[in-house]
Structure 1
Amino acid sequence: MVRRGEHIRRPPQPRDASKRVCPQQPPGVSMTKTRIAVIGAGWISQEAFLPAVHQTDNAEVIALISGSAEQSRKLADFHDIPDVVSYEAMDSYLASGKVDAVYIATPNSLHADQAIRAAQAGCHVLVEKPLATTEAECQAMIEACETAGVHLMTAYRRHNEPGTIDMLTRIRDGEIGRPNLIMSAFTAQMAADNHRLSASHWGGPLQDLGVYCVNAIRHIFASEPTEVIAMQSFGDNDPRFEEVHQSMSATMRFPGGRLAQFTVSFGAEPRDTLHVIGSEGALSLDPAFKFEYDVTRTLHRGETVVDRETQPSNDDFGSMITYFADCIQNGTTPENDGRDGLADVVILRAIERAAETGQPQSIDLPPRPSHPGPDTLRRVPRSSRRLVF
């Protein structure tokens, strides 16, 4: 039996016809609501996912799967969730026919095992980023979901919110000419007891924050990097960073002579920005990645601000959940699928090697078949209903 905290990755198995498999709806035909089991009742579930579900009209949470029964029961009562399930009972519950999909919000080292088990139970899978800790784990997750005939979606919520889609559309429409340079920063102060500072969970700001920068850069350039260089810092005797780096800076080379740079840190004032400089102008988002704040987009021509707009308030998690449920109910493959998450893990691992060795690292990835756009956009009003411990 799999116990809480164990990391067991099972290889994909052929689908047993006797097992329950989540229904695939014909195009244009919708379920009432997609029934989601949330795996992991930590901060991101409390602060963002559970409140956001109330704002959707096509999804509902029907179970919390967690190692803390008391805390989960309080959350379940607050959010009108009928079932609280232990990790030990997860497999039987997912195979019971009650669940259409899972949202996995556990430490990075647990993603692959839990996703594969959910797929084998016939459930669609939405996984927090990074998708997993290694390329092999990502591949196993993709194969398991393909074998089971279920969707695997990486939780890139920015693919569904208005500010990011507005910026991407403007760039593709030529508003700043050819995008040539990208610069980004994402920083925070991380509490000493947070699992994101644990090497055993593949923690660190590169994995937790850098994945936002890498994914955004790839989709802005609409291509994959060919080479990376990087430098890391472990701070100035800060005991929080005995296992993981405090800060990381990376430069990525893209086809056509384009370059992108980003810096992330768990030991700096919280900030997140994104700047795209083109041949005829520059666009920026500030904040660029956080879900708690409204996104402001600024257009520069030279040193002059010619346009600035703050997007109306939107619940980014609500947008992501709505899109995920739409894909399930309409039988369409998510744009931000498992291979999108795999590409970022390949790049993050290359950046790690570059920082550790001091040598450039080559990357060879297939082109993406699609990118975020108006078809992935969902507008959902922001929720104020939340319980956070």
Structure 2
Amino acid sequence: MLPLTDYERQDWKTAAEGTVRFALIGLGWWTTDLAMPAIEAAEHCETTVLVSSSSEKAGRIADNHDVPNAITYDEYHEGAASDEYDAVYVCTPNAFHLDYAETAAEFGKAVLCEKPMEATVQRAERLVDACEENDVPLMVAYRMHTDPAVRRARELIRDGFIGEPVSVYGNNSQPILEMIPDPNQWRLNPDLTGYGSSVMDLGIYSINTTRFLLDADPVAVHARMTSSHEAFSDVPDERSSAMFRFEDDVHMTTTSSQNAQDDTHLKITGTDGQIELTPAFHGTCTLHLSRGELNVTVEHDGIDAQREMREEFEYFANRVLSGEEIYADGDHGLTDMRILAAMYESAERDELVEL
């Protein structure tokens, strides 16, 4: 059995030399408060270009963070500062990811795209095609993949700590209207977010992290969604739940809501033991391990969202510089998009949908 607390936290690391210069596209709070400090702290990474709809905003943030280039979206598409960056980090509303990734691919730049990859399966397929046709690296920014607690849980599952996986329960919820008190925000606009809100933004965490942990994909889903609050009138999933059947007959229940108390956890139960991540997706991810009379809690001090982002950028830069295979790549992200589409289809029809 693998040791429970002593392990290599960056087991993905390979020899790499050089620096990946990033253009950051979309300067919302996630980029400015988390991504920029993460890049500054990461190995082999540097922010050299900021891209925003507002030249004033881009310039002000660039001055505050000593970034040499600040351009608008139009200037970016026209090729401004294209010699000043090697890769883009796309953190705009979902429905704009394709446009910025296509331009990056045309200029031969590597693409790190926030999840979910796009607003619809069709647009996500075009994004993947653009990167493949121009032979540029593409990674979907699932930061949980480089979280030490998640990676350790994956190793333990592979090593048989819980026996054969049997069931999974995941939840991700937050009070979005308290966090951003604007009912017209983009996450509640289906033209910008895609099929819905809670599942696209939050539910994806439980689903994708389970895929990563089990190295398996769902084969069927039955989902239910409701919206009653007036701010959610244009999206179907103020509250969402789903039952998945994964390969090897593993069953998963997942819930998500943009209008509930902040809560994130993921629990994997097997024939011999159990692994629980709580909090799982926001805050410091902590492992709770149980098997028979054994009960162990493994804490990871300082591993919060910003540190997860640092690990994510370090991983991406390492792969770009070394030429090693990237995970999660475009095909991995497309699988999630098809899972999301099936969930919304299932909820609309109130029927089981095969994947």
Q: Same fold (TM over 0.5)?
A: yes
The correspondence for 2:226, drawn from 224, 233, 249, is 233
Superposed CA RMSD:
1.5
Structure 2: gaps (5+ residues): 1-13, 178-182
**Partner of 2:215 in structure 1?**
222
Deviation at 1:234, TM superposition (A): 0.4
Deviation at 1:247, TM superposition (A): 1.0
1:47 is paired with a residue of what secondary structure?
A: helix
In structure 1, C-alpha distance between the alignment counterparts of 2:113 and 2:84, rounded to whole Å: 19
In structure 2, C-alpha distance between the alignment counterparts of 1:305 and 1:174, rounded to whole Å: 15
1:256 is paired with a residue of what secondary structure?
A: helix
Deviation at 1:333, TM superposition (A): 2.4
**Partner of 1:252 in structure 2?**
244
The correspondence for 2:145, drawn from 127, 142, 159, is 159
**Partner of 1:381 in structure 2?**
none
Matched, 1:190 2:180: no
In structure 2, C-alpha distance between the alignment counterparts of 1:298 and 1:94, rounded to whole Å: 49
Q: How many residues align?
A: 331
Matched, 1:297 2:287: yes
Deviation at 1:220, TM superposition (A): 2.2
Deviates more, 1:200-209 or 1:264-273: 200-209
The correspondence for 1:313, drawn from 281, 286, 302, is 302
Structure 1: gaps (5+ residues): 1-26, 364-389
In structure 2, C-alpha distance between the alignment counterparts of 1:342 and 1:124, rounded to whole Å: 18
**Partner of 2:338 in structure 1?**
346
In structure 1, C-alpha distance between the alignment counterparts of 2:312 and 2:72, rounded to whole Å: 26
Structure 1 residues 272 and 29, CA gap change in structure 2 (3 angstroms): closer
In structure 2, C-alpha distance between the alignment counterparts of 1:308 and 1:29, rounded to whole Å: 34
**Partner of 2:265 in structure 1?**
273
Q: Any conservation in 2 of the 1:38–1:64 contact (CA below 8 Å)?
A: yes
In structure 2, C-alpha distance between the alignment counterparts of 1:134 and 1:199, rounded to whole Å: 11
Matched, 1:174 2:174: no
Structure 1 residues 306 and 189, CA gap change in structure 2 (3 angstroms): same
Matched, 1:355 2:347: yes
| Deviations, residues 320-367 of structure 1 (Å, cap 9, x unaligned) | 00111111111122111111110000000000000011011010xxxx
Structure 1 residues 29 and 266, CA gap change in structure 2 (3 angstroms): closer
**Partner of 1:6 in structure 2?**
none
1:54 is paired with a residue of what secondary structure?
A: helix
In structure 2, C-alpha distance between the alignment counterparts of 1:29 and 1:52, rounded to whole Å: 19
For normalisation by structure 2, the TM-score amounts to 0.90
In structure 2, C-alpha distance between the alignment counterparts of 1:211 and 1:95, rounded to whole Å: 34
In structure 2, C-alpha distance between the alignment counterparts of 1:137 and 1:60, rounded to whole Å: 29
Identity of aligned residues (%): 31
Q: Any conservation in 2 of the 1:228–1:362 contact (CA below 8 Å)?
A: yes
Structure 1 residues 220 and 94, CA gap change in structure 2 (3 angstroms): farther
The correspondence for 2:58, drawn from 53, 69, 72, is 72
In structure 2, C-alpha distance between the alignment counterparts of 1:347 and 1:99, rounded to whole Å: 33
Q: Any conservation in 2 of the 1:56–1:322 contact (CA below 8 Å)?
A: yes
In structure 2, C-alpha distance between the alignment counterparts of 1:93 and 1:55, rounded to whole Å: 28
2:342 is paired with a residue of what secondary structure?
A: helix
Structure 1 residues 190 and 90, CA gap change in structure 2 (3 angstroms): same
Deviation at 1:132, TM superposition (A): 1.0
Q: Any conservation in 2 of the 1:298–1:305 contact (CA below 8 Å)?
A: no
Q: Any conservation in 2 of the 1:94–1:123 contact (CA below 8 Å)?
A: no
| Deviations, residues 83-142 of structure 1 (Å, cap 9, x unaligned) | 110011012336732210000000000011211111011110000000012222222212
Q: Any conservation in 2 of the 1:95–1:121 contact (CA below 8 Å)?
A: no
In structure 1, C-alpha distance between the alignment counterparts of 2:134 and 2:158, rounded to whole Å: 36
In structure 2, C-alpha distance between the alignment counterparts of 1:80 and 1:95, rounded to whole Å: 16
Q: Any conservation in 1 of the 2:16–2:318 contact (CA below 8 Å)?
A: no
1:280 is paired with a residue of what secondary structure?
A: coil
For normalisation by structure 1, the TM-score amounts to 0.82
